[in-house]
């Protein structure tokens, strides 16, 4: 009798485990199918909370990154867009350590350019992704972007070297798409580049926003365009 009860208890435990596992799988499937929508709603809520405590931000709201993202969301453009398949053949031999690579693809929600990276030298670029944080990658993958440019910061060689060193110190840190400019705990693909040069007294944020976008770096008076290919703003 005891053996039967033990066997029944074991079966119930297995059934409960399977039910919990199925539920967790269903939640995960639901989330990842709606990841961009969830991210957009989270950003909208975050924007609303920011506006409630930053009244000065409201006055220039139409020009802000937040407003651009909301407008894009209503037009069906969410996140960083999609690769159009055009690619590019930009000559990466032109790159020098400390240069900035900006890549763009159709459908981006926050500007013409959708990604940025800092060239470290020897074919390596430091950049940020949700799944692996701040990481170094081979520069060749930038050939998949539909439009691209190389920017050189107007800085001394020493300042550029220090910016690269600082960026390398952030390797492995957490990536968060909505990371604000202050602080060094969370980064996105543009914030760590801005932060690296900001420490050297060079502000690359032409928009002077709560966030920094690739477009704001492109429009900065503190950079020059070394090379570009594809559709430009």
Tell me, yes or no, whether 108 lies in a domain: yes
Instruction: Select from 3, 39, 189 the least CA-distant residue to 102.
Output: 189
Q: What is the pLDDT of residue 5?
A: 46
Tokens 């429009």 -> residue: 219
Q: What is the pLDDT of residue 202?
A: 97
Structural domains counted in the chain: 1
Tell me, yes or no, whether 50 lies in a domain: no
CA distance 230 to 233: 10
Q: What is the pLDDT of residue 53?
A: 55
CA distance 24 to 56: 43
Kindly report the CATH number assigned to the domain that includes residue 178.
3.90.1720.10
Tell me, yes or no, whether 87 lies in a domain: no
CA distance 57 to 96: 37
Tokens 């060749």 -> residue: 140
Assigned token pair, 19: 């039910």
Q: What is the pLDDT of residue 108?
A: 75
Tell me, yes or no, whether 4 lies in a domain: no
Tell me, yes or no, whether 128 lies in a domain: yes
Q: List the beta bridge partners of residue 126.
A: 118, 136
Q: What global pTM score does this model have?
A: 0.72
Range of the domain at 207: 92-229
Tell me, yes or no, whether 164 lies in a domain: yes
Tell me, yes or no, whether 172 lies in a domain: yes
Instruction: Select from 197, 92, 199, 181 the least CA-distant residue to 137.
Output: 92
CA distance 161 to 144: 28
**Which runs of consecutive H residues, i.e. helices, occur in 122-190?**
157-169
Q: What is the pLDDT of residue 28?
A: 59
Q: What is the pLDDT of residue 2?
A: 40
CA distance 57 to 210: 9
- State residue 174 phi and psi, 5-degree precision: -70, 135
Q: What is the pLDDT of residue 222?
A: 98
Q: What is the pLDDT of residue 230?
A: 93
Report whether 179 contacts 147 (CB < 8 A): no
120: Cα separation from own chain's centroid: 18
Please return the burial class of 134, using the count of CB atoms within 10 Å of its CB with bins 0-12, 13-18 and 19+.
buried
SS (H, E, C) 4-41: HHHHHHHHHHHHHHHHHHHHHHHHHHHHHHCHHHHHHH
- State residue 35 phi and psi, 5-degree precision: -55, -50
Tell me the longest C-alpha to C-alpha distance in the chain.
Answer: 84
Tell me, yes or no, whether 10 lies in a domain: no
In order along its 233 residues, the chain shows pLDDT tens digits of: 444 444 555 555 555 555 556 665 665 566 556 666 666 677 677 667 666 655 566 566 556 565 565 565 556 665 677 888 999 999 999 999 999 999 999 887 678 899 999 999 999 999 999 888 999 999 999 999 999 999 999 999 999 999 999 999 999 999 887 777 888 888 999 999 999 999 999 999 998 877 889 999 999 999 999 999 998 87
């Amino acid at each position: 009798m005891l053996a039967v009860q033990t066997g029944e208890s074991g079966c119930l435990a297995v059934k409960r485990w399977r039910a919990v596992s199925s539920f967790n799988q269903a939640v995960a499937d639901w989330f990842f199918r709606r990841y961009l929508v969830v991210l957009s709603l989270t950003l909208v809520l975050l924007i609303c909370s920011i506006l409630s405590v930053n009244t000065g931000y409201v006055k220039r709201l139409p020009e802000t990154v937040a407003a651009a993202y909301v407008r894009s969301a209503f037009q069906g453009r969410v996140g960083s867009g999609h690769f159009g398949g055009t690619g590019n053949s930009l000559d990466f031999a032109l790159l020098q350590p400390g240069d900035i690579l900006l890549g763009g693809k159709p459908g981006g929600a926050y500007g013409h350019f959708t990604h940025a990276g800092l060239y470290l030298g020897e074919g390596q670029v430091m950049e940020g992704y949700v799944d692996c944080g701040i990481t170094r990658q081979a520069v060749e993958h930038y050939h998949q972007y539909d439009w691209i440019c190389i920017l050189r910061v107007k800085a001394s060689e020493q300042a550029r070297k220090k910016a690269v060193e600082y960026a390398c110190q952030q390797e492995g840190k957490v990536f968060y798409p909505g990371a604000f400019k202050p602080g060094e705990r969370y980064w996105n693909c543009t914030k760590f580049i801005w932060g690296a040069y900001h420490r050297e007294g060079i502000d690359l944020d032409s928009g002077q926003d709560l966030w920094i976008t690739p477009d704001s770096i492109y429009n900065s008076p503190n950079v020059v365009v070394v090379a570009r290919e594809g559709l430009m703003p």
